[in-house]
Structure 1
Amino acid sequence: MAHDYVSSVLLLLILLIFLSQRTVSSSIVKSLPGFDGPLPFELETGYIGVGKEEEVQLFYYFIKSERSPQEDPLLLWLSGGPGCSSISGLLYENGPVTVKLEVYNGTLPSLVATTYSWTKVSSIIYLDQPVGTGFSYSRTQLVNKPSDSGEAKRIHEFLHKWLGKHQEFSSNPFYVGGDSYCGMVIPALVQEISKGNYVCCKPPINIQQGYILGNPSTENEVDNSYRIPYAHGMALISDELYESMKRICKGKYENVDPRNTKCLKLVGEYQKCINRINKALIITPECVETSPDCYMYRYLLTTYWANDESVQRALHVNKGSIGEWVRCYREIPYNHDIKSSVPYHMNNSIDGYPSLIFSGDHDMEVPYLGTQAWIRSLNYSLIDDWRPWMIGDQITGYTRTYANKMTFATIKGGGHTPEYKPEETYIMFQRWISGQPL
């Protein structure tokens, strides 16, 4: 009898542990170490389990719109990499706080409020994905590596579970956004959500409003090949070298046939000209993160901040769930199984989803020339031809709009992500989501 009772209690305990592990855990964060005083916005952090046994625990930061969270759009913002933490979006690109740029003295780096947060007009979920990124982790050894198409499915599952726990946001206009490598995953994710709305998943996700991508990876060969004409246009290589490369390499600068020794020699000369250029923003010096004079020094400060025990406690990170936090896990096991996201853009525009594609025009990682080339390949007619877009009486960039509800915009002087021109990208986003022309 006693044995049966003990067995029942054990079973009940196992069941309770199993159920507690399967629930969505979330916490409200009122203050953050390094930030002076209470947070002037509503922050929630948490985990959502995805996969059959919910073995993958995806970590997120959720910030409510500072204007009208009941009506304002809900935006899911992803960082690229793959393997870069969404803290990059929150602290550098479009969030309400940023890391104060000052020389590290052994104490916790400081956070300060920003003036350009997209949370002024929308609620944002910043998601650490794929598993192994930021604070996201797996409770078991992964059988399959994460992949582009797999992430589109996982993030879709995450969204349904998140909205299930936050039903007050299920009817808000919904957008997906991100930059850099997200250009491979987001168009597939939009298609996944669209299919799910018709086929399987209730309540539907209100994605009629569309998606937004900055300097998006789209097709590696195209993106990378356009670095050469871009380098020429920016006076980084000579006319003669560019003309020779065009003639001898015939526009193929990636994976050159080893027998084409003339082309290989020219590619070597090109590399010599650009190998000290900071590709993310060509007008800034190439330097190491540890140099306090360098823009990227903020990444080092963020690493100190996010690895601090008091910070992880404040963010309600599961103790012992990850080793050292890294901003970008460059060696993340990952299967790049979408070779081109152009077909997904095509399907999404056929389905009527609007999109805003923007490019910092001083980015050489994914130069705007390559982005314009794949947009042209969609073969849509122009509704609004190339023109400057302004903030006050200043030209901020150039834009054009296509019949497939796709808007393309450049950010003058901008780099690979919105962090280089945050005020300008905020105004661009705010105009676009409110249906105004840029």
Structure 2
Amino acid sequence: MKPQSQYYHLQPKNHVKKINNLVFSGVFLLVISSGVIESQSIVKTLPGFVGDLPFILETGYIGVGESNDVQWFYYFVESEGNPEKDPLMLWLTAGPGCSALTTLVSETGPIIFNKANSTLEKPILEINPDRWIQWLVDHPKFLNNPFYLGGDSYNGILVPMVLQEIYNGNEVGEEPQIKIKGYMLGNPLTDRRGDYNSRITFAHRVALLSDMIYESAEENCHGEFLNVDPKNSLCMHDLQIVYKCIERINKKYILDPVCDTSNTFKNSHLLRRGLSSLNKTAMNMLLLPQVKRQWCRGDNTLSTVWANQKDVRKALRINEEYDEIKWVPCNESLTFDYGKEAISYTNNVLSSVAYHKQLTYKNCRALIYSGDHDMVVPYVGTLNWIESINLILTNDWRPWFVDKQVAGYTMKYSTRNYNLTFATIKGGGHITSLYKPKESLSMVIRWLSDNAL
């Protein structure tokens, strides 16, 4: 399938508001001003979900480039509250190169897999009680809605760059004028060197490294754990000890076991037979054993099986010309190891701190949040770059609450017409909605409503 993206809208539920979900890729934001939409349709039912969908789901393609020869697939979920006034959010899926479908059915979207009752042969969908549930030139009724840009992980690089382009377009009078209010980022990769180095500091803070091991590595490596001089034998020796301590830790969520799903893909009847036989297999589900298994958090096996079924592609209005292209959660060809030659555009920018700094001169709100058990992009590195852009601290470190329980800690900064809220989510991992969906939703709703956490 072609690259995908999503959007979100706010909705009321139990006297609070939620975000309805839409997702687009970064390229989409540049396309908004062109007004080119190739196709769109309303999806009323989905395989694995009983009955009609209780929300408005739209899918479609947008042409990219002067000749529109690249088509980007999108999902749009309209607000279940007040679509005419609720905030419109464009949520970018990270990776880089990961599919918006993962966000739609596994993280913040309106539906999720019922893992307790699902098997590889029969994935089952249900309503996500903590869903975030919006679209412009061809959907002009949303032009007056306040607009926010959001993303997580790798989008810490992309979002501030795209946001700057939106502000620039508005300032020179490009149409349509977008009512941009701000942005939010979760566990954002922002400065590759700084974020990587902070992993060692974080590991020490959470008792994965002893004081002696950490202090020796800090002294001998001079605080640099990424670009290490191979001739520095003392540093190299210390890092061998460090890596031995943390190599079997689940970096996305340090309390979870390391989860290897490779055997599932190798042994699954559905996947071993390949895409061409997958559709045939899907029509003969009853002939296969109904195998139940324990699912790892973040495991995309169900999504992969479900998204590659012919009836699912038809329901989502995937163009038939892509029938022989297998859906995968992420385009692994875009992965990159720091220090090696960049293989794609995804590594042209190693730090987006300068873009955040430029945004401090705009009339803009920012929410930066971190799951405090994430070692992929630890909160300590995020706090370091926030402090480097020279904001004024207006509210110091304090707890914030959900149901009278500490949900995390927060600080607030400001300068000129820009303000930034930083928050941790207690017990959250690299994608916080996977680990703390209720707390994540409460945080976003309060911030979008301009209420204190």
TM over 0.5: yes
Query: How far apart, CA to CA, are the structure 1 residues paired with 2:212 and 2:106?
Result: 39
Instruction: Measure, in 2, the Cα distance between the counterparts of 1:29 and 1:71.
Output: 23
Residue of structure 1 equivalent to 2:176: 203
Report SS of the residue matched to 1:403. strand
Give the drift of 1:246.
Answer: 0.6
Q: Are the counterparts in 2 of residues 359 and 367 from structure 1 also a CA contact under 8 Å?
A: yes
In the alignment, structure 1 residue 327 sits paired with structure 2 residue 329: yes
Give SS of 2:165's match.
helix
Q: Does 1:166 align with 2:139?
A: yes
Aligned residue for 2:410, secondary structure, equals strand
**Residues 365-404 of structure 1: pairs in structure 2 closer than 5 A:** 365-404=376-415
Q: 2: distance between equivalents of 1:177 and 1:88?
A: 16
Question: 1:394 Cα shift?
Answer: 0.3
Q: 1:223 to 1:100 in 2, by over 3 A?
A: same
Give the whole-Å Cα distance in 2 for the aligned partners of 1:420 and 1:37.
28
Q: What letter is aligned with 1:283?
A: L
- Contact persistence 1:78–1:89 (CA under 8 A): no
- Aligned mates of 1:254, 1:433 — CA distance in 2: 37
Greater share of residues in strand: 2
Report the Cα offset of residue 198 of structure 1. 1.4
2:250 to 266, 278, 295: 278
Deviates more, 1:291-300 or 1:193-202: 291-300
1:31-430 to structure 2, matched below 5 A, reads 31-102=45-116, 105-119=119-133, 123=134, 163-207=136-180, 209-289=181-261, 292-296=293-297, 298-321=299-322, 323-332=325-334, 334-335=344-345, 336-404=347-415, 405-417=419-431, 418-430=433-445
- Per the TM alignment, residue 343 of structure 1 is displaced from its structure 2 partner at its CA by 0.9
| CA distance in structure 2 between the partners assigned to 1:23 and 1:283 by the alignment | 44
Other-structure match for 2:44: 30
Percent identical among aligned pairs is 46
d(CA) in 2 for partners of 1:273, 1:320: 49
Amino acid at match of 1:71: K
What amino acid maps onto 1:363 in structure 2? D
Q: How far 1:177 sits from its partner (Å)?
A: 0.5
Q: Provide closer, same or farther for how the CA distance between residues 435 and 297 of structure 1 changes in structure 2, counting only shifts above 3 A.
A: closer
Aligned to 1:15: none
Q: What displacement does 1:392 show? A: 2.1
Structure 2 residues not aligned, in runs of 5+: 1-35, 265-292, 335-342
What secondary structure, in the 3-state scheme, does the structure 2 residue paired with 1:118 have?
coil
1:101 and 1:297 in contact (8 A); partners too: no
The two structures have a TM-score, normalised by structure 1, of: 0.83
| Equivalent-residue separation in structure 2 for 1:254 and 1:297 (angstroms) | 27
Count of residue pairs the alignment pairs up: 375
In structure 2, distance between residues paired with 1:65 and 1:326: 28
Equivalent residue number for residue 450 of structure 2: 435
Q: Could you tell me whether the CA contact under 8 Å between 1:99 and 1:298 is conserved in 2? A: no
CA contact (8 A) 1:288 1:294 kept: no
Q: CA deviation at 1:262?
A: 1.5
Name stretches of at least 5 consecutive residues in structure 1 with no aligned partner: 1-21, 124-161
Q: Following TM superposition, by how much is the alpha carbon of 1:258 offset from its aligned partner in structure 2, in angstroms?
A: 1.1
> What's the offset of the Cα at 1:427?
0.5
Instruction: For residue 206 of structure 1, report the CA deviation from its aligned partner.
Output: 0.9
Contact 1:225 1:253 in 2 (8 A): yes
Once the two structures are superposed, residues 128-177 of structure 1 have per-residue CA deviations (whole angstroms, 9 ceiling, x without a partner) of xxxxxxxxxxxxxxxxxxxxxxxxxxxxxxxxxx5111111111000010
Q: 1:23 to 1:95 in 2, by over 3 A?
A: closer
Cα separation, 1, equivalents of 2:297 and 2:120 = 18
Report the residue type matching 1:232 in the other structure. H
Provide the secondary structure at the position in 1 that maps to 2:321. Answer: coil
Question: For residues 204-251 of structure 1, what are the alpha-carbon distances to aligned partners after superposition, in whole Å with 9 as ceiling and x for unaligned?
Answer: 1110x2000000000100000000010011111111110100100000
Distance in 1 of aligned mates of 2:348 and 2:173: 24
Q: Structure 2: which amino acid aligns with 1:411? A: I
